[in-house]
Amino acid sequence: EVQLVESGGGLVQPGRSLRLSCTCSHFTFGDYAMSWFRQAPGKRLEWVGFMRSQAYGATTEYAASVKGRFTISRDDSKNIAYLHMNSLKTEDTAVYYCARDRTTVNIRLDPFDVWGQGTLVTVSS
Amino acid sequence: ETVMTQSPATLSVSPGERVTLSCTTSQSVGKNLAWYQQKPGQGPRLLIYDASTRATDISARFSGSGSGTEFTLTISSLQSEDFAVYYCQQYNNWPPYTFGQGTKLEIK
């Protein structure tokens, strides 16, 4: 069964950094773009960003709310996607999810067919 | 940014009933719309994509329709495992990908 497992969440002070991991299994990880989303308490799901596969240059796109502070990377040898979060703000408090594109074709007109269970990040002093 | 609006916010229904959930977008998304189901403590589960195509292993009691700015998700006969929150998401006009605020199905 295809599986994505997020880890690395926790309590962090404003202005500090945190790295989340998304460990993937039972599919060819390197063929897929990987995305990150978040859901703050009582709010709708919000797209954070994605990284294309190496076949498409491993380029990234980010939401305006995190651009310049968050960075997505990937280690295809370990089947892990990362979300590096810097200069954290209280409004970054949320459950963070990683997800896989439904297909390996980089047309970006694709939903997200497999999601992890999420990891909670709390930004508070 | 394409704003997604779902209605109703909450729907109280009995098992066996047929329900229809609505999603409206602020600008056309063609047929590039998906529906997800989310249960407490879990990530979203893809149900429908391209407005009307069922995802892998999704029961035929789930169906989607619509195009442009008006979409619906219908569940033909509610089962106990269907009580959850449902989200629509557009993937036509990005960045950003955007989601509705969700419709919660609760047991009457």
**A16-30 pLDDT, tens digit each:** 999 999 999 999 999
Model confidence at A107: pLDDT above 90 = no
User: Are the Cβ atoms of A44 and B97 closer than 8 angstroms?
Assistant: no
Give percent of chain A above pLDDT 70. 100
Distances (CA, A) of B70 to A17, A36, A43, B36, B67: 41, 27, 22, 16, 6
Residue A72 exposure: Cα atoms within 13 Å on the Cβ side: 27
Residue A80 corresponds to which tokens in the numbers above?
């892990």
pLDDT value at position B51? Answer: 98
Torsion of CA B23, B29, B31, B33, to 10 degrees: -50
Mutate one of B97, B98, B104 to test the A interface: name it (highest A CB count within 10 A): B97
**Residue at token pair 């508070």:** A124
Contact A97 B99 (CB under 8 A): no
pLDDT digits (tens, 9 = 90+) for B37-88: 999 999 999 999 999 999 999 999 999 999 999 999 999 999 999 999 999 9
Mean per-residue pLDDT of chain A: 96
Q: Which class for A23: exposed (0-12), middle (13-18), buried (19 or more C-beta within 10 A)?
A: middle
Asked if B91 and A46 come within 8 Å (Cβ–Cβ), the reply is no
Q: Is the CB of residue A13 less than 8 Å from the CB of residue A20?
A: no
